[in-house]
Amino acid sequence: MSSLNRDTFVAIVLLLVCGGLYVASLEIREPDYGQLSPATWPRMIIGIVAFLSMIYLVQSIRRGPDEKDDEKSWEGFGAFLAQWRNVLWVFALFLGYLLALPWVGMLLGGAAFVFLLLTVLGPLSGRDMLIHLVIALVTVGGMWLLFTHGLGVILPRGELTGI
């Protein structure tokens, strides 16, 4: 088993999860009306993820076994934070978004989340901050318009703002 790398194991787990999700999609109830089965879209997404996982598996097998990381040492908690800084920022900002959602709503909360995430993970110049703001407003505003007015989905409104 030492001839396989970590990516190979991850790809195999992903393929097993896709298989389990496909089996679970067989339990989706078929209505007596309509042309398209409710299981079509979930199965299509499961198929795409399974296809990408298969590509991942092939590439990981071609890469070969992992090299030993003997020279890598852990200096403690500071090294852990330095290595996982971006991941921790994403989780912290998403937690803040979820906690603020009842008060500021999806539109303002989502725009603030995307702006802060781009700012924390990206460059910090004034021009880049303006680009982050435009990206946040256009993407979240566009999705909000699409879901609210195009699809008629009721998104969370903020108690403080009403939008």
Q: What is the pLDDT along the chain (163 residues), one digit of tens a residue?
A: 556 788 899 999 999 999 999 999 999 888 887 778 888 899 999 999 999 999 999 999 998 887 765 455 557 888 888 889 999 999 999 999 999 999 999 999 999 999 999 999 998 898 999 999 999 999 999 999 999 898 888 888 888 877 7
pTM over 0.75: no
How far apart CA 146 and CA 140 sit, in angstroms, is 10
The two tokens of residue 61 are 């097998």
